[in-house]
Structure 1
Amino acid sequence: MLQNTQKDLTLIFTSIAVITLTVIGLMMFPDQAKVLADHLFTSATMTFGTLVQVLGFVCVILIVGLAFSKYGNIRLGEGKPEYKNTSWIFMFICAGLGSATMYWAFMEWAYYYLTPGLDIASASKQALEMSIAYSFFHWGITPWAIYGIASLAMAYHFHVRKNKGLSLAGIIEAITGFKAHGPVGRIIDLIFLFATFGGLVLTTTLTASTVAKGLSDLTGLTDGFLLKACLVMLVTVVFSLSSWIGISSGMQRLAKLACGMTMLFALVVLLLGPTLFSINNTANAIGLTLQNFIHMSLATDPTGNGEFARGWTVFYWLYWITYAPGVAIFVTRVSKGRTIKEVVMAMILGGCGGCWFFFGSLQSFAIHQFITDVVNAPAMLSGAGGEAAVSLLLNSLPFGKVLSVIYFVLMLVFLASHLDAVAYTVVATSTRNLREGQDPAPSLRLFWCLLLAALPLAMLYINASLNTLKTAVILTAIPFIFILFVKIWGLLKWLREDYAAMPASLIEEQSQRLSTMDAAQASAARAHQPHGAAPTLETQP
């Protein structure tokens, strides 16, 4: 029985009202909703697009600069790291994978082949080579730098400054002074909830559509709204039961197993498919990505309509930004005792490496099937759809039916795990005075589990286009741009106050000393310091 916790009724009823009105509007006026979504998408990306692209590029510069400056040796908390390097890096790779990722890993190149960026001719040889390079760009250095800078701010706030509140509102309070439970904190919580729903809509809808098409091909079931709705409700029941009876740890273990199985799946595709072509294609894509990185980062197409940059690069950066607060909390929890440089290197090299291997294997196979006239994925985008292309690509593999079943099961496990984690986060946000180690009320968790399924079901009902789904992400993510700016400003401010006057040699010595200290020793050292200052060697025991 929980004590001293209260349901945040204002937050709950506001969320319910917005979600209910949105679902009713989508289902009553589906055609008008699609037109409005297209208009909002264009307006939002044209207004904020350049700012988002510059922000992404700045994050790369900042995180590389921090890692290789004297600040890179700052240790985030005392004691030795809790996890071994291999397990720790694998956690970051898992943070970049998910159910929707499995769709993009097969199909993203096809979109870029038909509508390439950088003024490349559509459906050309150059467009084909750059298609996978752009996938690597959108799942590579910049998004992981966005994750990294958000994570470093949170980890520094929690492990070095020892501020209270491992939450988005908590770190904003520490930086700005606005109370987490005041009006500004309430607004931040609302933004966080709506952004969570925005990202969830895209993930759930893509996953349900892809799995439904695959099951239809395998079993002969009709690929319609009923099948998709049944899949969403099945997954909802699974993670609702998980939330109700408290088996989230089991769900998390299943998710980690799914991550390992996903990487194994990519290895199987690499070995069973055109192995040499895939290796050559992946290496070529990495070269093109690095060669064109600055241009791809800042390509706003001022003399054209900028459709590619707005429709893909801006969308992706905002998509990653919506998940940055949650990832930052996760990274903070598993990175105590690590240095800033270690966190940066693990996220950039580990995160990029995992995503590039996964995308390189699956996309290279899809491209090879295209150039050998086995499966024309680009042509199917405007006809049967990307979900049908994924089904055909899977069936074209040796042991295709077996691998198809494994692929679709992995997608559903990822989705259930993702929804379970989102449900817990939403419930925790809407519960006041929740202490460390406490779980929110099961009834409230079940309520949010059911509500989380409402928006994706509405999108499936109106057969929302990809642009409509993207709009859900864009509109809910825009406020996070300014929150990320605040976090960056706060991190730089703290670093300047705590370490600007300290020589690099002393920072390194302090880092080594902290790695051998326990929490009590570190607390005693901090007791001799001004509030918020990092412990110096002179006052350490």
Structure 2
Amino acid sequence: MNNLKKSRRDTPLAVVSLLIIFSLVGGMTAFPKTSIDGAEKVLYWCTTIFASPILLFAFFAVLFVAWLGFSKYGKIRLGEGKPDYSTASWIFMFILSGLGSSTLYWGFLDWAYYYQTPGLNLTPESQEALKYSVAYSFFHSGLSAWAIYAVGAVAMCYHFHVRKNKGLSLASMIEAITGCKASGPVGRLVDLLFMLCMFGALTISLVLTAITFAKLLSILTGIPDTFTTQVIIILAVSVVFTLSSYVGMDGGMKRLSHMVCWGVVILALYIYVFGPTQFITSNSLSSLGLMLTHFVDMSLFTDPMGDGKFTREWTVFYWLWWISYAPGVALFVTRVSRGRTIREVLMAMVVGGCVGIWFVFGVLENYSVHSFMSGLVNVPDVLSKQGGEVAIGMLLDHLPAGRAVMAFFLAVMVVFLAAHMDAVGYAVSATCTRDLEEGEDPAPADRLFWCVMLTLVPLAMIFAKAPLNTMKTAVIVTAIPFALIILVKVYGLLKWLREDYGHVPSHQIEEYQRPLQVVAEEAPTAGPVVASKQAV
């Protein structure tokens, strides 16, 4: 792939985005208590009003992905030529674009939150709540989550690789679907929301990683766990992912993704082998069975006869968190998926993503659950009184060669965060570059600039000592509009599929697509609709 030789940066979008972000950062820093109180109210209001629509959105995303993957349209190839990356590298890269380093934090502790505040009206801290705790973790990181990613990703891939529309940005796709100009008010608003959403979505991952890293580093080396230490950690990670982003997709992101995936797999395998192997295996299978058996109940649980707190604070929040990342993941998946079929993208994202995260969560969480049940570490109590990062440190320390494992965990966490920030930085810089075409990347200087900017909001959150709910608010406020934008993208995708391939029998799609690709190369702006007339 050739990098974009001449910068076509969207300066007005960059300036307006940064002005808003700087204002939010300044307000958070100057008025931390007021900001936190306001965030609590906004979080409650958003998750109450939009609870049912968001639950339905996620549930139907699963149904849509299943239909699309098994339909004749699954055979459509997204772009010409062979894929740019091996299957393993490809899956590693876009899974990492959709998972933050906070995955390692939640991997040890997610179940403990559900044990203390369970869903389905279970009694808190009961045997039944413990039974469902890992199952709920599998649910919140499973089929619905990856289906949300896949819906937006396939639509963007089709827009860019099959329709040959210029611009690797949400506004360019909205223009192609609705006719509203990317440079007009609607397009400007869409891209602005995207920019703000990327900053908000990254906040939880970066803040939780910095806090956890600083605490574990203090346990390991005795270095004081202070705000200064956390800032230094964030800046150090920023240097890593900035260098990776500057080097480019092939030299930077590809290598980081391999390092992270192998690092996480090695960590999980070590805990599986040297931890309670039999319990990890049996409870992982049991939790997976519970989740699949009660998938519809979990998906549509609104708690109308209760206070709805669990649904608001966990399920709805999680779906909005995944929605907030979905536009950026779509841009990144589009960049690395040329030459793949729609079915391949959907299978790799939903099946590959679920299997990968279920394996990691199954090992880490069930080791944590077993430590609690055996009296080794009272994880829920430590989480409530001392913080999740302390609980993680205690869990790692009880493993054979615990200090070495802790050091390895920190190394994996840093590279994980760098890889994730690299993917987000690419999506932001691509949005701020006008008319990107297939084979082009944003200019290295632009990627470098946005990598630096992405650290500002998390730094303000740490300085203000913002609680988890405040960080959640930073995600959901900008995520809600993107549920509507994803629906527009789905409408556009269905419209294009019907126009381009609705009349083509399933067994002829691959043969039919070849002449379209030749015509598309000769007239890249025509799209398959025009091309099909010429080909026939």
Answer whether TM exceeds 0.5 for this pair: yes
**Aligned equivalent of 1:452, options 447, 451, 454:** 454
- Match of 2:306, as an amino acid? G
Give, in whole Å, the separation in 2 of the partners of 1:158 and 1:313.
Answer: 32
Sort the Cα spacing of 1:303 and 1:494 in 2 relative to 1 into closer, same or farther, 3 A.
Answer: same
Query: Contact (CA 8 Å) 1:99, 1:415: kept in 2 or not?
Result: yes
Q: Deviations over 1:255-285 (max 9, x none)?
A: 3211221122111111111111101011001
Deviation at 1:138, TM superposition (A): 0.7
Q: CA deviation at 1:441?
A: 6.3
Out of 51, 55, 61, the residue aligned to residue 63 of structure 2 is 61
Instruction: Judge conservation of contact 1:255–1:417 (CA < 8 Å) in 2.
Output: yes
Cα distance in structure 2, aligned partners of 1:524 and 1:230 = 52
State the 1:54 CA deviation: 0.5
Instruction: Show structure 1 runs of 5+ residues with no match.
Output: none
Once the two structures are TM-superposed, the CA of residue 445 in structure 1 deviates from its matched residue by 4.6
8 Å contact from structure 1 (residues 499, 534) kept in 2: no
CA shift for structure 1 position 534: 7.2
Deviation by residue 1:76-101 (Cα, 9 ceiling, x = unmatched): 33445444544444444434443111
* 1:298 counterpart residue number: 300
Are residues 200 and 275 of structure 1, via their aligned partners in 2, closer, same or farther at CA, if it must alter by over 3 Å?
A: same
Report the more deviating stretch, 191-200 or 70-79: 70-79
- Distance of aligned partners of 1:354 and 1:526 in 2 relative to their CA distance in 1, 3 Å threshold: same
Distance 1:113 1:351, change over 3 A: same
Partner of 1:124: 126
Paired letter, 1:470: K
Decide which of 443, 448, 455 is 1:440's aligned counterpart.
Answer: 443
Aligned partners of 2:328 and 2:428 also within 8 Å? no
Matched, 1:532 2:529: yes
The code of the aligned residue for 1:358 comes to V
Equivalences, count:
533
Q: CA deviation at 1:247?
A: 8.8
Of 17-26 and 457-466, deviating more is: 17-26
Give distance in 1, aligned partners of 2:452 and 2:519. Answer: 47
- Aligned to 1:355, the other structure's residue is in SS state helix
Bigger mean CA offset, 162-171 vs 468-477:
162-171
Cα-to-partner distance string for 1:343-366 (whole Å, 9 max, x where unaligned): 222222111100100100100100
2:163 aligned to which of 161, 164, 176 = 161
Change (3 A) 1:391 1:351: same
CA separation in 2, counterparts of 1:472 and 1:350?
29
Q: What corresponds to 2:508 in structure 1?
A: 509
Alignment of 1:282-321 (within 5 A): 282-321=284-323
Give the SS at the match of 1:532.
helix
What per-residue deviation string (whole Å, max 9, x for no partner) do you get for residues 108-163 of structure 1? 00000000000001011111111100110011000111111111211222233232
SS at match of 2:306: coil
**372-381 vs 344-353, greater mean Cα deviation:** 344-353
TM norm structure 2: 0.92
1:334-353 matches, cutoff 5 A = 334-353=336-355
Contact between 1:258 and 1:413, CA under 8 Å: does it hold in 2? yes
CA distance in 1 between counterparts of 2:523 and 2:248 reads 39
Deviation at 1:424, TM superposition (A): 3.8
Q: Secondary structure at the match of 1:484?
A: helix
Distance between the aligned counterparts of 1:263 and 1:501, measured in 2?
Answer: 45
The residue aligned with 1:406 is: 408
* Equivalent residue, structure 1, for 2:204: 202
Residue 340 of structure 1: CA displacement? 2.6
1:520 to 493, 518, 521: 518
1:534–1:296 distance in 2 versus 1, CA, 3 Å: farther
SS at 1:382 equivalent = helix
* Closer/same/farther in 2, CA of residues 525 and 119 from structure 1, 3 Å limit: same
CA displacement 1:39-85 (0-9 Å, x = unmatched): 01000111112111110011111111122233333333344544454
Q: Which amino acid aligns with 1:221?
A: I
Give the match's secondary structure for 1:111. Answer: helix
Separation of aligned partners in 1, 2:174 and 2:167 = 10
Q: Deviations 1:265-317 (Å, cap 9, x if unpaired)? A: 11111111111110101100110010110111111111222111111111111
- Equivalent pair of 1:154/1:329 in contact (CA under 8 Å): yes
Displacement of 1:210: 0.5
Asked whether the equivalents of residues 120 and 298 of structure 2 are also in contact (C-alpha less than 8 Å), the reply is yes
Aligned equivalents of 2:76 and 2:516: distance in 1?
16
Q: CA offsets per residue over residues 394-422 of structure 1, 9 Å max, x none? A: 11111111111111111111222322333
Shift in alpha-carbon separation, 1:85–1:5, aligned structure 2, 3 A: closer
Q: Give the secondary-structure state (helix, strand or coil) at the position aligned to 1:301.
A: coil
Deviations 1:441-473 (A, max 9, x none): 62x555433332221111111211111111111
Q: Tell me how far 1:477 sits from its aligned partner.
A: 1.0
**TM-score between both structures, scaled by the size of structure 1:** 0.91
Larger mean CA deviation between 94-103 and 401-410 belongs to: 94-103
User: What is the match of residue 20 of structure 1?
Assistant: 22
**3-state DSSP class of the match of 1:470?**
helix
The amino acid that maps onto 1:440 is: A
- Contact kept in structure 2, 1:82 and 1:334, CA below 8 Å: yes
Question: Structure 2: which amino acid aligns with 1:509?
Answer: Q
Partner of 1:190: 192
For 1:128, give the aligned amino acid: L
Q: Could you tell me how far 1:2 is from its partner in structure 2?
A: 8.3
Q: Does 1:149 align with 2:146?
A: no
Q: Give the aligned partner of residue 102 of structure 1.
A: 104
Work out whether residues 160 and 534 of structure 1, in 8 Å CA contact, stay in contact via their aligned partners in 2: no
Letter in 1 for 2:440: G
The structure-2 alpha-carbon separation of the partners of 1:530 and 1:476, relative to structure 1 and needing over 3 Å to count, comes to closer
Give structure 2 stretches of 5+ with no counterpart: none
Q: SS at the partner of 1:180?
A: coil
Q: Following TM superposition, by how much is the alpha carbon of 1:241 offset from its aligned partner in structure 2, in angstroms? A: 4.5
> Residue 236 of structure 2 corresponds to which residue in structure 1?
234
**Percent same amino acid among aligned pairs?**
49
SS at structure 1 position matched to 2:471: helix
Q: CA deviation at 1:519?
A: 4.8
